[in-house]
């Protein structure tokens, strides 16, 4: 066989091998993620809600990874636990945290004022945003992201509670829903997943 042909076969084999290894690395990276990875991503529904500092529109955050959590300040367990983990993850990210925006959307607009939400969200990390709106606006945003929420009986001390989905939605820098975490993802795993999405 001629040397030129041998060289061409060798180069082709290297290209195929490199491609195979690259696919395996990407696959392995996704396999290590701790939520549901969407490929291709779904378009993230735009919204405009109110924070203590004014309107917050999802489209204005393009270029950042947005972490979207639906909860409320009177929540006795799921919400503070989730927010603590998200805050810890931001600390673990270091400088990369500047490219991530966590937004807590209130499912209790009757009690959660923008000011109360700001105080609550920032207690977990100074960059966190808390947003609210009218009942109709909250219902529309929750529906767009598949979030269930409904008032439930509480106690004399707490008043009513709000049952709600506990998953967290990750929107990539181009505005696509890329990852959905269940409730029990630990801070180190959140940080690891966010680093992966930031590279996309």
Query: CA-to-CA distance for 96 and 86, rounded, in angstroms?
Result: 14
CATH number, domain containing residue 77? 3.40.30.10
Note whether 101 and 2 are same-domain residues.
no
pLDDT given at position 104: 98
Note whether 120 and 166 are same-domain residues.
yes
Q: pLDDT, tens digit, for every residue of 81-132?
A: 999 999 999 999 999 999 999 999 999 999 999 999 999 999 999 999 999 9
Note whether 24 and 103 are same-domain residues.
no
- Mean pLDDT for the chain? 86
- Put simply, whether the predicted model's pTM sits higher than 0.85 gets the answer no
Mean pLDDT throughout 24-36?
61
Q: Is the pLDDT of residue 10 over 50?
A: no
Please count the structural domains in the chain. 2
Note whether 108 and 122 are same-domain residues.
yes
**Nearest to residue 145, comparing CAs of 75, 54, 42?**
42
Who wins on pLDDT, 114 or 23?
114
The CA–CA distances, whole Å, from 55 to 50, 59, 78, 105, 171 equal 5, 12, 26, 13, 19
Note whether 94 and 49 are same-domain residues.
yes
């Amino acid at each position: 066989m001629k040397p030129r042909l041998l060289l061409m076969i060798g180069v082709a084999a290297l290209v195929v091998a490199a491609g195979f290894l690259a696919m395996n690395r990407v696959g392995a990276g996704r396999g290590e993620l701790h939520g549901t990875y969407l490929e291709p991503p779904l378009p993230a529904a735009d919204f405009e809600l109110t924070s203590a500092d004014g309107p917050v529109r999802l489209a204005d955050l393009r270029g950042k990874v947005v972490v979207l959590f639906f909860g409320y300040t009177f929540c006795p367990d799921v919400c503070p636990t989730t927010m603590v983990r998200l805050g810890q993850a931001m600390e673990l990210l270091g400088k990369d945290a500047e490219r991530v925006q966590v937004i807590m959307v209130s499912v209790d607009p009757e009690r959660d004022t923008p000011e109360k939400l700001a105080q609550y969200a920032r207690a977990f990390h100074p960059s966190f945003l808390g947003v609210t709106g009218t009942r109709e606006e909250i219902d529309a945003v929750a529906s767009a992201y598949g979030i269930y929420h409904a008032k439930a009986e509480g106690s004399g001390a707490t008043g009513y509670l709000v049952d709600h989905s506990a998953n967290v939605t990750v929107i990539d820098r181009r505005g696509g829903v890329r990852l959905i975490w269940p409730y029990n993802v630990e801070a180190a795993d959140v940080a690891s997943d966010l680093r992966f999405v930031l590279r996309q």
